[in-house]
Chain A
Amino acid sequence: MARSFTERAIFLDEGVTRVGLSAVDLNFLIKTAASGVAIALLVGLAAWARVARSTPDLDEASVRELLAFEHPDARIGAIWISADARGALVRAGDDAIIVFRLGDGYVARSAPWTTLATTAPKNGAVNLRVADVGARLKLNDGAAWPPRLEAAA
């Protein structure tokens, strides 16, 4: 016998409810494992295709351009570029702005300038911990840390 509209709706609802009850069944585990394999293949394909954004090394002009968007109100003073040109340190008044590479983009964070002195270089680099992020800046041989950067006039 055909179900009434309401019965049919509730019958379908049972399907929705079952989703919650079947979380650990074999079918779910197989689907999850297959999804994991699909993810690995897609990530591999993305890596193979080499279609990331081109991310040129940092220089003073590119850092200024980046900060014009990231910290538009900051008074940018002197700029220091890391030895591998993947990071930068900028004097902005009493603050330091740290720029570092993530994937094919850059991330910027600011912190009081005085906090830089609490980090000692190790193996030719400093590992800065600023709020929620960690940034590694490579130093030239024998370079002093933190670099002496003038604030904007």
Chain B
Amino acid sequence: MSFDPVTLATPFFILLVIVEILAAKFAKTRTNYEAGDTATSLAMGLGSTVAGLLTAGVVAAVTLWVYQHRLFTIPMTAIWAWVAIFFLEDLTYYWFHRLSHERRFWWAAHVNHHSSQHYNLSTALRQTWTGGLNGTWLLWMPLALLGFPPAMIAIEKGISLVYQFWIHTEAIKRLPKPIEAVFNTPSHHRVHHARNPRYLDRNYAGILIIWDRMFATFEPERDEEPPRYGIVKNLGDFNIVRVAFHEWIGIGRDLTKARSARDVLGYVFGPPGWRPGGEGTTSEDLRRAWRARVGGEGG
């Protein structure tokens, strides 16, 4: 029998969504659910599970192959091994997540998670359908090469995913300062889901926010600037096929306009919003324009 934290947690995910909706209705917490948006998020979650199965075999086979060529043999029963993989997996997640935002080929698979204009527990379940196809799982292969058993990697990834569920809420404002300093929290992750120029491409953390602080991508939530959720150009409907594939379609459309190999590379691997000749609008461009508008306040 295999131990899968996500499968075990799924009934609690459902229960917590129910609790969050009821709390919004009866306790008037700061939470909003819109039926169409909720249906899209949950359907994306179910679709992601199905899509994940299509590549799970390949991912497992490659991981096993790498593990067979491991440098060390790390025991699953050693506490130090679990401590080590906790930090190493979380660091891997940080770079996976950063790549998934800063390069269009990987953004195309991740954008659907950000496509809701809402931020609630159902948003956490709005997961990718194409993440298995774009190879980001290769980023975890160094852990297998080091000698962490594939099952240990899978469990730690599952723990990270489960942790990240509960932070998708507006019902919790701020946690005590020591927790906010070390862990990814609802406040930090609201910033990550915001489309305000100040907040774009910030707070990539999985469990620990320390990586964002270390790599200069941390941005605190500011009361005077509430997050506006979604993507820079919000989608115009709740069609789940569009949610899942719109950025891939956009890449395809742009490639038909490419006039050089540089254009092709830029459209596929450049930052989202890139256009030849500097005519596009990337997150950095938006942030620069915002700073120019607000002057000294943009620090």
Contacts and interface: CB of A to CB of B under 8 A. Distances in A.
A102 interface: yes
B290 to A, nearest CB: 8
Interface string B8-49: 000000100110011011000001111111110011001001
Interface string A85-124: 0000000000000001011110101000000000000000
Given A17-B61, A133-B236, A104 B56 contact: no
A107 B42 contact: no
Contacts of B167: none
A133 B246 CA distance: 11
Nearest to B39: A43
Interface in B107-149: 117, 122, 149
B150 A69 contact: no
B182 interface: no
Contact of B151 (A13, A46, A47): A13
Contacts of A35: 46, 49
Given A13-B150, A46-B34, A51-B25, A39 B43 contact: yes
A9 to B, nearest CB: 3
A147 interface: no
Nearest to B64: A13
Contact of A36 (B46, B59, B63): B46
Given A42-B42, A103-B238, A107-B235, A19 B33 contact: no
A134 B235 CA distance: 10
A142 interface: no
Interface stretch (B71-79, B90-98, B266-274): B71-79
A46 B35 contact: yes
Given A9-B76, A51-B32, A17 B38 contact: no
Contacts of B14: 38, 42
Contacts of B54: 23
Interface string B227-266: 0101001111110001000100000000000000000000
Contact of B33 (A12, A21, A46, A132): A46
Interface SS of chain B: helix, strand, loop or mixed? helix
A28 B53 CA distance: 10
A69 B49 CA distance: 35
A5 B289 contact: no
A133 B239 CA distance: 11
Interface in A44-69: 45-47, 49-53, 69
A9 B22 contact: no
Contacts of A53: 32, 34
Given A12-B151, A18-B2, A52-B34, A105 B234 contact: yes
B84 interface: no
Nearest to B75: A5
Contacts of B64: 10, 13, 17
B172 interface: no
Given A16-B2, A17-B64, A39-B39, A103 B117 contact: yes
Contacts of B80: none
6 contacts: A12-B2, A20-B57, A36-B46, A72-B293, A102-B236, A107-B234
Given A12-B76, A14-B2, 10 more contacts: A5-B149, A8-B76, A13-B64, A16-B2, A46-B38, A49-B24, A52-B33, A102-B117, A107-B235, A134-B237
